[in-house]
Structure 1
Amino acid sequence: MSANISGKVVVVTGASSGLGEATARHLAAQGARLVLAARRVDRLEALVAEITAAGGQAIAVRTDVTVKADADAMIAAAVQAFGRVDVLVNNAGYMAIAPMSARLTDEWDKMIDINIKGLLYGVAAALPVFEAQGSGQFINISSIAGRKVFSPGGTVYSGTKFAVHAISEGLRHEVGSKVRVTVISPGGANTELKHGSSDADSLKALDAFYEIAIGPDAIARAVAYAVEQPADVDVSEIAVRPTAQDF
């Protein structure tokens, strides 16, 4: 158990599977108090039961990050349950890999809504709480595809993740010395993210690429590293990829 994590109130979006679920488990084991947010309430409640059975503290809040009122209610539920919010992990994400020529505009819209607007709604909900407390931390989950354009196929996805980097850096500069902002950029990690596209050829290519994928616990440990630093240490960015990944 980490002394710098124990007792902190951590809100995790996209907590029903993948990186969010792994992060919740890992931080709970370090003594954090968890607010688990996602649309699949049954999975959230099962995870809450698991954490509380092990002696941890967690609540579930049904949240669609693309709905501003849901993001506001998520943070309000955290404050009501625990009296404060120390960390918001903006983890909810969606990836639909396909060539631009396929013109899958519905999938483009969904990536923009979840990966960019969903993050912004979380920031808008949590920032006033952080400012009132005089402390807080945003951990924004980006991607290696937010550092290098994943093309062909991932152009729009990369665009949304480049936006995560830009928003995070501007936010870091604007919030000053009391609020920390961290970007974590995973490479290939074994989660449901790879199943988001409707393009059959792209799905086949992703299956081959993800043969080298690392477990989501690797990203959870990176989150914990950022959270456990002293208040005057802001870990601005961490990239975590499989050793075998060539970009």
Structure 2
Amino acid sequence: MRGKVMGKDSKVVLITGASSGIGAVAAERLAAAGHTVVLGARRADRLAEVAEKINANGGTATALPLDVTDRAGFARFADTARDRHGRIDVLVNNAGVMPLSRLDALRVDEWQQTIDVNLTGTLHGIAAVLPWMTEHGGHIVNISSTLAFEVVPASAVYSATKAAVRALSDGLRKEHQNIRVSVISPSFTESELLGSGGDPGTMAWVQDMASKLNMPTSVVADAIAYAVDQPATIDVSEIVVRPAAQAG
């Protein structure tokens, strides 16, 4: 049975992409452990449902609309969280999109969307909390992917953004010894990530693979919680999570 943190061990955790999938389940997991969670996503109605569920189960959650591609909006999200709770201890940069296609399909608008959300959105999150964390310390958890390690046909742009997230995480860790930086890199996971965009034939193939290999979202949420719950002297730099059937 997992223990519940109390008092000074409880953290204020900001989570992006928290209206569904990994973000929502991680929020529930962290709130159940005793942390205060501040949830951000574009779908305000879905976000409110997640927060209401957490609060009804005895946790503490606040829902704030957030588009991670809006730098000023991300700054307001972080400032509001700090104003309400007095501090920011953890940021989980989870928001992401995954419209897969071969490069010769020239789906250039989707390339840009992938960069804007997956990479620039992560940078916006870092920019929003870094002034506070530079002074007070903290923890940034960035969600990457196993496709950051291995590029497959149709994943070139997505893989590039997730590899970039790993690189900037490593740089951030080396620049700030008082800020813990963790990268969580999951493979196929139950989520809505494959629900829109991309080349239809490619996405149908990926969805078929996912139906055979998907890990429960709770597995990734547990990996996030493990990194968050380590003491301030321990940096869990990276966790890679794959289904056993894919690990060979």
Q: Structure 2 length as normaliser, TM-score?
A: 0.95
CA distance in 2, matches of 1:183, 1:98: 25
Aligned-residue RMSD, C-alpha:
1.3
Contact 1:186 1:240 in 2 (8 A): yes
Partner of residue 160, structure 1 = 161
What's the offset of the Cα at 1:184?
0.3
Confirm or deny that 1:198 pairs with 2:228.
no
Contact 1:98 1:202 in 2 (8 A): yes
TM alignment of 1:1-247, pairs within 5 A? 1-3=3-5, 7-133=10-136, 135-149=137-151, 151-176=152-177, 178-211=178-211, 212-246=213-247
Amino acid at match of 2:226: Y
Give aligned pairs, total. 244
Give the gaps of 5 or more residues in structure 2. Answer: none
For residue 11 of structure 1, give the secondary structure of its aligned residue in structure 2. Answer: strand
For residue 31 of structure 1, give the secondary structure of its aligned residue in structure 2. Answer: coil
Residues 36-59 of structure 1: per-residue CA shift (max 9 Å, x gap)? 000011111111111111111111
CA distance in 2, matches of 1:115, 1:198: 15
What's the offset of the Cα at 1:70?
1.0
Residues 96-155 of structure 1: per-residue CA shift (max 9 Å, x gap)? 11111100001000000000100000000001111222x200000000001111x21101
CA distance in 2, matches of 1:67, 1:96: 20
For residue 109 of structure 1, give the secondary structure of its aligned residue in structure 2. Answer: helix
CA distance in 2, matches of 1:6, 1:189: 29
CA distance in 2, matches of 1:54, 1:168: 33
Contact 1:12 1:34 in 2 (8 A): yes
Q: Structure 1 length as normaliser, TM-score?
A: 0.96
For residue 244 of structure 1, give the secondary structure of its aligned residue in structure 2. Answer: helix
CA distance in 1, matches of 2:162, 2:186: 11
Give the gaps of 5 or more residues in structure 1. Answer: none
Amino acid at match of 1:210: A
Residues 162-185 of structure 1: per-residue CA shift (max 9 Å, x gap)? 000100000000112x11000000
What's the offset of the Cα at 1:190?
1.0
Q: Identity over aligned residues, as a percent?
A: 44
Contact 2:98 2:198 in 1 (8 A): no
For residue 232 of structure 2, give the secondary structure of its aligned residue in structure 1. Answer: coil
